[in-house]
């Protein structure tokens, strides 16, 4: 090869090696920077929340914070639970099978998939609408008497999202015709005693 000729094979090889290593370097630098934006150790340390269930009266809803996110805890009464079955034909996903996020480890029986709770009377769910994240309003009594035209005439009681009108029944299952794609998401929780749960 003459002195003044360019050996483009060698040059391309060097380009490949240099830019490949450069890309590895950039990726390596990105790890700490992106990593720093993930939850810090002290944030992770407060990732569980305890809740005392005997502070609830039957039929009451409270919204508590878990990892900074709102969580619904409802004490459901017998009439509330009995109404769950009557409305099933209008639900998108009555047995909570559509998505991993609507399921939980403890959902062993069909009964638990429908009531969506370990013990039927205590419902614990993420309080954000699965559509775009607003907190739905709790409208537990059936029919339009208390809620007017914001709910359908055969309203079984449940949640109504003020943002885009999604409707959920009293097990947080989304009613057909809502913009929300899924039932309200489940939260990992367990009973520490008969009246105390640990969320997270």
Partner 1 sequence: MVIEKMLNSRLAQWLDERSDIVKLTRAHLTDYPTPKNLNYMWSFGSLAMLVLTIQILSGIFLAMYYKPSAMMTSGGYSVAFDSVERIMRDVNFGWLIRYMHAVGASAFFIVVYMHIGRGIYYGSYKGPRELLWIIGVVILLIMQGTAFFGYLLPWGQMSFWGATVITNLFGALPVIGSFLQELLRGGFAVGDPTLNRFFSLHYLFPLLLAAIVGGHVHALHVVHSNNPTGVDVHEGKGTIPFHPYYTVKDAFGVGVFLILYCYVVFFHPQLGGYFIEVDNYVAADNLQTPSHIAPVWYLTPWYTILRSFENKLLGVIAMGASLAVLFLLPFLDRSKVRSARYRPVFRQMVILFFISVLVLGYCGHSVPTPTLKLIGQLATIYYFAFFFMLPFVHKFEKTRPLPEEI
- The catalytic residue positions are 164
Q: Which member of 1, 2, 26, 38 binds partner 1 (CB under 8 A)?
A: 38
> Is residue 5 involved in binding partner 1 (CB under 8 A)?
no
Q: By CB under 8 A, is residue 33 in contact with partner 1?
A: yes
Q: Interacting stretch for partner 1, rule CB under 8 A, among 40-48, 51-59, 87-95, 139-147?
A: 40-48
- Write the CB contacts of 138 (distance below 8 Å, at least 6 apart in sequence): 61, 72, 74, 159
Residues 13-32 that bind partner 1 (CB under 8 A): 15, 31-32
Structure tokens at 41: 């150790």
Among 2, 27, 41, 57, binds partner 1 (CB under 8 A): 41
**CA–centroid distance for 40 within its chain:** 22
DSSP string, 15-26: HHHHHHHHHHHH
Q: Which is nearer to partner 1, 7 or 105 (CB)?
A: 7
Instruction: Identify which of residues 19 and 48 has a Cβ nearer to partner 1 in the complex.
Output: 19
Cα separations (Å) of 112 from 82, 166, 177, 181? Answer: 14, 23, 24, 21
Min CB(104)–partner 1 separation in Å? 29
Q: How many residues bind partner 1 (CB under 8 A)?
A: 16
Instruction: Provide the β-strand partners of residue 50.
Output: 198
């Amino acid at each position: 090869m003459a002195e003044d000729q360019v050996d483009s094979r060698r040059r391309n090889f060097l380009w490949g090696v240099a830019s490949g290593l450069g890309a590895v370097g950039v990726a390596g630098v990105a790890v700490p920077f992106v990593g720093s934006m993930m939850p810090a150790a002290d944030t992770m340390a407060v990732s569980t929340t305890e809740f005392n269930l005997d502070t609830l009266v039957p039929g009451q809803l409270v919204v508590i914070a878990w990892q900074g996110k709102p969580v619904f805890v409802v004490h459901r009464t017998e009439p509330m639970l009995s109404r769950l079955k009557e409305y099933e034909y209008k639900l998108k996903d009555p047995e909570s099978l559509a998505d991993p996020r609507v399921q939980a480890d403890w959902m062993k029986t069909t009964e638990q998939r429908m009531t969506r709770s370990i013990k039927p009377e205590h419902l614990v769910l993420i309080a954000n609408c699965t559509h775009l994240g607003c907190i739905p309003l709790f409208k537990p009594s059936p029919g339009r008497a208390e809620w007017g035209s914001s709910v359908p005439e055969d309203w079984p009681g449940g949640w109504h999202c003020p943002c885009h009108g999604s409707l959920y029944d009293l097990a947080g299952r989304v009613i057909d015709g809502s913009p929300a794609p899924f039932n309200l998401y489940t939260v990992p929780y367990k009973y520490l005693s008969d009246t105390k749960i640990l969320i997270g």
